[in-house]
Amino acid sequence: MASDGCQPVGWAGKGGFSYLLHKPESRAGESYRTAGHAQNHEGEAGPEPSSSGRDRTGTWNGPAPRGHQVEPMHAQDESRAQPNKAVNDPPHVLLPGGTKMPLLGLGTYKLQSADAVKQALELGYRHIDCATIYGNEKTVGEGLKDFIAEGRRSELFIVSKVWQDAHRPEALRKSVQQSVSDLGCGHLDLCLVHWPEAWLPGTEEPDTEVTLQQTWQAMEALVDDGLAKHIGVSNFSLRQIEEVLSYARHKPVVNQVELHPLLAQRKLVGVCLRKGVHSVAYSPLGHTGQGSEVLGNPVVAEVAAEAGKSPAQVLLKWNVQRGVAVIPKAGSEPHLRENIEGLFSWRLTWDQKAKLDALDQGKHFVNNSWHTWEDPEEGGAAKPSVVLQ
């Protein structure tokens, strides 16, 4: 059985596939021809090689490969492979059209100071995550104003989200125009549908007159008209994303969801990526008031001690290392610096990542009475255990 890199193979260091024409351990000779001849003819004289280096059977008579004598490396062996190897991972993922989305962003939920945005920009943050419902886009815009005035708008990746009472096409466009104005950014690099539920304008009552397809068509019009370079979704299940993909003219490029070791959502992340939809993790350190279950987890503390990093750095790396962008909230300079410093210059080992992976329990910290999380197995390929029931 082929190894997937998670478990050692039984033939490690033993030559592996004995039927291949490498030099067997028990045979004399230093070439394919002599090894194969000795194995098949038990000492009988074989054909003489031609001047081209091959004999009349077509077997190469040059030096036999040495690779089969080297013990194979596996994922769990990486820490002893090259312990001092420098790491310089890319700090972004590519979206369609070549747009670079930074893997570390600044979450602005409950952010109250424009200075925090300015400090973030000074430290190297370029991905700024906003939303209409946060009620602070003017404050964020104040923090961005000087940077944009310097002619550096192209360095930024600015995101906003359309709230649930603006799913109707005319309300959606008005909401995005207001966000662009408040942020002072000219256009959004990414605009998301914040939640799949639609409410009547100005209320929290379900809006049964607008469909998700109509909302998505209004999102596509934003791209057509230059108000947004890319569009995506947030808090969508795999089934809902597949629904949007089935009729989308401009495909969603991002699904922003809660992701941390206690809520890995591996199927959602993996299947979406294969469909061209990148995952962005909100609450990557846990949620306000409940974060100690994640940030204060003993396993996280153990891995942090092993890696010589803080628990927050370990949690951010856990997502980033699997290609998931993170948008932690941070309002103070020390926390902003802690989150970004050296994030792309080290990696969790296989053993460390396995410890964190084992924490998964499908636990959401962000829950609302008006939203029911769908079965994570809905959508994509069904598990054999489900199919065979």
Q: How confident is the model at residue 24 (pLDDT cuts 50, 70, 90)?
A: very low
pLDDT at 2: 45
Model confidence at 1: pLDDT above 90: no
The answer to whether residue 43 scores a pLDDT higher than 50 is: no
In sequence order, the β-bridge partners of residue 102 are 92
Q: Which helix (H) or strand (E) holds 191?
A: strand 188-193
DSSP three-state, residue 223: helix
What's the mean per-residue pLDDT of the chain? 86
Residue 226 pLDDT class (50, 70, 90 cuts): very high
Q: Strand pairing partners for 162?
A: 193
pLDDT above 80 for 321 = yes
Provide the β-strand partners of residue 231.
Answer: 191
Task: Give the list of residues 6+ apart from residue 387 with CB closer than 8 angstroms, or none.
Answer: none
Give me the long-range contacts of 219-225 (CB less than 8 A, separation at least 24).
219/162, 219/172, 219/191, 219/193, 219/250, 220/248, 220/249, 220/250, 221/169, 221/173, 222/172, 222/173, 222/176, 222/188, 222/191, 223/250
Q: Which position has the token pair 């997937």?
A: 4
pLDDT average, residue stretch 319-347: 96
Q: Comparing C-alpha atoms, which of 55, 30, 51, 27 is closest to residue 39?
A: 27
What is the reported pLDDT for 382? 81
Length of the chain counted residue by residue: 389
The angle subtended at Cα 64 by Cα 60 and Cα 70, nearest 5°, is 150
Under 8 Å CB-to-CB from 208, ≥6 apart: which residues? none
Q: Per-residue pLDDT for 291 more than 70? A: no
Q: How far apart are CA 264 and CA 361, in angstroms?
A: 8
Alpha helices in 85-211 (DSSP H): 114-123, 137-149, 169-183
Distance in Å from the first CA to the final CA of the chain: 27
CA distance 67 to 7: 20
Could you give the CA distance from residue 326 to residue 320 in angstroms, rounded to a whole number?
A: 7
Sort strands 105-107 and 100-102 into parallel, antiparallel or unpaired: unpaired
Residue 78: predicted pLDDT: 58
* pLDDT over 70, % of the chain: 75
Instruction: Inform me whether the pLDDT recorded for 239 exceeds 90.
Output: yes
Catalytic (active-site) positions: 134
Rounded to two decimals, the pTM is 0.80
Asked if residue 108 has pLDDT above 60, the reply is yes
- 73-77, 290-294, 298-302, 357-361: segment of lowest average pLDDT: 73-77
